[in-house]
């Protein structure tokens, strides 16, 4: 999709794209992670957290999920949870 190739990401557009994809493919790691990331980076961290956690649950061996989760928790002001996440 062109959204992935664009260096200037419109996170609201990305959120809408990945909501549709997660509805069609709920067990897709990258769809969940990118939906959670788009929510996080567009100021909707609380909405995005469950999708990031779903992605991590689908494949805990991919480190990207933990990085996005740390960003998400930081945006929610949950510093102690960030520290616990990066120490995992």
pTM: 0.90
CA–CA distance, 28 with 33 (Å, rounded to integer)? 9
Q: What does the block give as tokens for 26? A: 């709920």
User: Residue 61 has which token pair?
Assistant: 């061996």
Main-chain phi, psi angles of 22, to 5 degrees: -65, -35
- Does 88 score more than 70 pLDDT? no
How many residues are listed for the chain in this entry? Answer: 88
Which residue reads 């990207």 in tokens?
A: 64
Tell me the per-residue pLDDT of 35-64, one tens digit each, with 9 for 90 and over.
999 999 999 999 999 999 999 999 999 999
State the Cα–Cα distance between residues 76 and 72, nearest whole angstrom: 6
What average pLDDT does the structure give for the chain? 93
Measured CA to CA, the distance from residue 48 to residue 58 in angstroms comes to: 16
């Amino acid at each position: 999709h062109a959204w992935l190739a664009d260096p200037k990401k419109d996170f609201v557009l990305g959120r809408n794209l990945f909501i549709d994809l997660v509805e069609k493919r709920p067990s897709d790691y990258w769809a969940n992670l990118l939906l959670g990331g788009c929510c996080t980076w567009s100021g909707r961290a609380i909405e995005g957290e469950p999708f990031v956690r779903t992605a991590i649950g689908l494949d805990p061996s991919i480190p990207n999920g933990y990085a996005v989760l740390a960003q998400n928790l930081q945006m929610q002001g949950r510093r102690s949870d960030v520290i616990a996440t990066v120490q995992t």
